[in-house]
Amino acid sequence: MAESILFVLMAVGALVGAVTIVAARNPVYSAMGLLGTLFSMAVLYVLQLAHLVAAVQVIVYAGAVLTLFLFVIMLIGVDKSEDWDEKLPYQRALVGGLGGLIALFAGALTVSDDFDWVPAATITIPEATNGTIQAIAELLFTDWVLAFEATALLLTIAAAGAIGLAHYRRGQE
């Protein structure tokens, strides 16, 4: 019961945050919507026993990434909110059509009541998927150690690239 209540609350929070990202005119409000979505999803991760991923989500995403977003928004200036009346020749029609198609698909799925495409979706609480630090680390440093090292390389390259981009104009002039 507790999971159902928390799921509904956090699902509503995530959806409201997502709509805020898209609909807000001020990019700062968009960032706040992203923050709400990220926190709601962290709670959803905890509900699904993904404890380490939830912690990383809050620390890396809500902490570092969102701060970076806010820095850049402040750097670029928040007063440049765009106009919703600008010309978008076909984008609105595209979104409307796609949204209608998706709603139709979801409706058909609900009517046919065929949600069993995830096998064993109704099993009781599993024990092996309790995502503690120890359990994740065991997988990460055995089966996925090569991918883990590759991400270390990727992060180094990304940091070097960001520094290179920051110095770009100095070389130009």
Partner 1 sequence: MIVAAGWYMALAAALFFIGAFGLVLRRNALVMFMCIELMLNAVNLTLISAGRALNDLNGQVAVFFVLVVAAAEVVVGLAIIVAIFRRRATASVDELSELRG
* Per-residue buried b or exposed e for 21-47, using 16+ beta carbons within 10 Å of the residue's own CB: beeeeebeebbbbbbbbbbbbbbbbbe
Nearest distance from C-beta of residue 104 to partner 1, angstroms: 13
Looking at the Cβ atoms of 19 and 108, the one nearer to partner 1 is 19
Nearest distance from C-beta of residue 38 to partner 1, angstroms: 7
Q: Which of residues 8-67 bind partner 1 (CB under 8 A)?
A: 11, 14-15, 18-19, 21-22, 27, 30-31, 34, 37-38, 41, 44-45, 47-50, 52-53, 56-57, 60-61, 64-65
Q: How far apart are CA 46 and CA 50, in angstroms?
A: 5
> Binders of partner 1: how many residues, by CB under 8 A?
82
Q: How far apart are the first and last CA of the chain?
A: 64
Region at 37 (left for phi over 0; alpha for psi -120 to 50; beta for the rest): alpha
Q: Which of residues 75-94 bind partner 1 (CB under 8 A)?
A: 75-76, 80, 82, 86, 88, 91-92, 94
Q: Which of residues 102-161 bind partner 1 (CB under 8 A)?
A: 102, 106, 115, 118-126, 128-129, 131, 135-136, 139-140, 143-144, 147, 151, 154-155, 157-159, 161
- Minimal CA–CA distance to 71: which of 162, 154, 167? 162
